[in-house]
Amino acid sequence: DGQIISWNYESAEPIPLRQVLAHQGWIRSLSVDPTGQKLVSCGNDGRIAIWSIPELKPIHSWQAHENHAYQVGFHPSGKEIVSVDLKGMVRIWDLTGKKIREVEAKALHKYDAGFGADIGGARSMAFSTDGTVLALAGITNVTNAFAGIGNPIILLVDWATGKITKELTSKEKFQGTMWGVAWHPAGFVVGTAGGNGGMLWFWKPDQPNEFAAIKLADNSRDISIAPNGKAVAIPSYGGFARIFDITPNLNPPKEVPKVPPAKK
């Protein structure tokens, strides 16, 4: 419903501390700047908004896209913001909302004339540790927008030039969407997809296909890498989070069960 809500996560029974109406319609993405003092949001209204932390007071907002804005985030320098919409339009902004450049990621969008619908956009994004490369995850080669039939893909964008330098895909033509992407501290890219099952892939950024892959129990929805680079956490469609040991032995995942409903 377009609201941002904050909680004190250390409380035994967290209750909302602050709540603001941030967007008209769904909020699609949130990101905190490197200082921890600013939050940026985007949503189906195509707007970007910057908020103070912890007060959640508005700092600045602007109309950034003509379509649903799916992803937004701060550059590691904290001086710029990047956003991506449903049609794969990547836009880079300064903190006042002035557009610096834009990149059209055509591989991340398809208009399906049969259903009269657009499908695509970045479903996840992540910067390399040094901030020189932006990875965008989504779906490509769509043949049926209604059923979401296509192939997972990650695009690598050179931050300085705005050029797409590499398309990362899987050797096996898996059907589904790349829902999560992250950079490992060692410099390789990790992506996870859901569709006809779930997959976890590992790429060297200069190679188009993965050097390792793990089949998942069900469709994945995102990914997070531990700061030490030894494990990844993946939430799944079935309501589980799975933690994978990604040290060289690639140990089996530990499953974290569904969180029980809060007591009323």
In tens, the pLDDT along 218-257 reads 999 999 999 999 999 999 988 889 999 988 655 545 555 5
Which range is least confidently modeled, 53-62, 170-179, 235-244? 235-244
Give the mean pLDDT of 70-77.
Answer: 98
Q: What are 262's two structure tokens?
A: 């809060």
pLDDT at 259 over 70: no
Number of separate helices (H) and strands (E) present in the chain: 0, 24
Q: What is the pLDDT of residue 148?
A: 86
Report the pLDDT value the prediction gives residue 183, as an integer from 0 to 100.
Answer: 98
Per-residue pLDDT reduced to its tens digit, 14-47: 899 999 999 999 999 999 999 999 999 999 999 9
**Whole-structure pTM value:** 0.91
pLDDT at 256: 55
The Cα–Cα gap between 51 and 214 comes to: 39
pLDDT tens digits along 116-172: 899 999 999 999 999 999 999 999 999 998 888 999 999 999 999 999 999 999 999
Provide the token pair at 108: 């991340």
pLDDT digits (tens, 9 = 90+) for 127-136: 999 999 999 9
Q: How far apart are CA 238 and CA 189, in angstroms?
A: 25
Nearest CA among 56, 59, 55, 89 for reference residue 72: 89
pLDDT, residue 214, reads: 93
- Domains of the chain in start order, with CATH, are 1-103 (2.120.10.30), 105-264 (2.130.10.10)
DSSP per position, 35-81: TSSEEEEEETT-EEEEEETTT--EEEEEE--SS-EEEEEE-TTSSEE
Q: What is the mean pLDDT of the chain?
A: 93
Q: How much is the average pLDDT of 67-71?
A: 98
